[in-house]
Amino acid sequence: MLYYVIDAFTETKFGGNPAGVVIHENLNENFMQKFAAEVRFSETAFIKKIDYLNFEIRFFTPTSEVDLCGHATIASFKALLDSGIINDNNRYFMKTLAGTLPVYVNDSFIMMEQAEPRLGKTFKDYQTLSKIFKVNNNDIGDMKYNLVPQAASTGFWDIMLPIKSQDALYALNPDFKELAKYSSINDVGGVHAFTLDTKEGVALCRNFCPLFGIDEEAATGTSNGALTYYLFKNGIINNFDCDYIFLQGHSMGRPSNIITKLINKNNPRIMVGGKAVILTKGELI
């Protein structure tokens, strides 16, 4: 069995978000969960080849399995490309708990189509949110647009939390125990905080998911896919078939660039992608 450590959404080692990747033939779920807990990456992907175009991929945090993970998908197809199992410049399909989704590999740049985009309930309990994140009520929202916190998903539910300024975003200091409780009560994985107060990219982001054993992540593909749809539905972005750049990980010293794209005007879907760098690889014994 091949094992990789790969930094996703970056072109630089020790940037982006690291993921473990295991290419196997028939591991059981118990081993997968124990292995993910042992290596303690935010997500570890386990890949089983179905045929030359189709792969089953399961994603585990240190504490549980999740339906879909963007950065671990990017890492997975980087590992498949490096191992010679797939070829560059082709389309593949991955079977996940979020459905069977297409992945495009072009000149080592990896783009995945997300699951059906959806918006959920809005959250107007600003006092609760401000207490959890230790932020002033007035810092929640946007200086220009009428944005409110709202659940969104392209395969994994998060609360999109608009913050008015970069300073306020970087000052967030969540009570992770309370955030985990709040996430569980509201049937979401965590909170994707963002600000449009940036001269680079569409938004600066921070992602918190303590319910699944991840206090903060440096790059989250599914969350930025959901944010793309949230911004589209709020009329902030509206161009199809062009790249949008989201910046994340700066607060952790692991800068990440996540590329998203709106496709299919008649039935909008979101694509998410980026590059990846192999840090190490070897064999599991």
Which residues lie closer than 8 Å to 241 by C-beta, 6 or more apart? Answer: 261, 262, 263
Beta strand extents in 61-183 (DSSP E only)? 65-66, 90-96, 99-106, 109-113, 118-122, 150-153, 158-162
Query: What does the alpha-carbon distance between residue 38 and residue 97 come to, in Å, rounded to a whole number?
Result: 23
Query: What does the alpha-carbon distance between residue 79 and residue 12 come to, in Å, rounded to a whole number?
Result: 16
The answer to whether residue 11 is catalytic is no
Percent helix, strand, coil in the chain, to 5, is 25, 40, 35
3-state secondary structure of 150: strand
Within 10 Å of residue 107's Cβ, how many Cβ atoms? 7
Q: What value, to the nearest 5°, has the Cα angle with vertex 221 and ends 279 and 73?
A: 55
User: Which residue in the list 43, 113, 216, 217 is annotated as catalytic?
Assistant: 43
The tokens describing 278, both together, are 């192999």
Residue 209 pairs in a beta bridge with 214
**Cβ pair 241, 263 in contact under 8 A:** yes
The tokens describing 173, both together, are 């200091």
Please say whether the dihedral angle defined by the alpha carbons of residues 120, 214, 41 and 169, taken in this order, is positive or negative. positive
Which residues lie closer than 8 Å to 17 by C-beta, 6 or more apart? Answer: 7, 8, 9, 10, 42, 71, 217, 218, 219, 220, 249, 254, 256
> What residues are annotated to the active site?
43
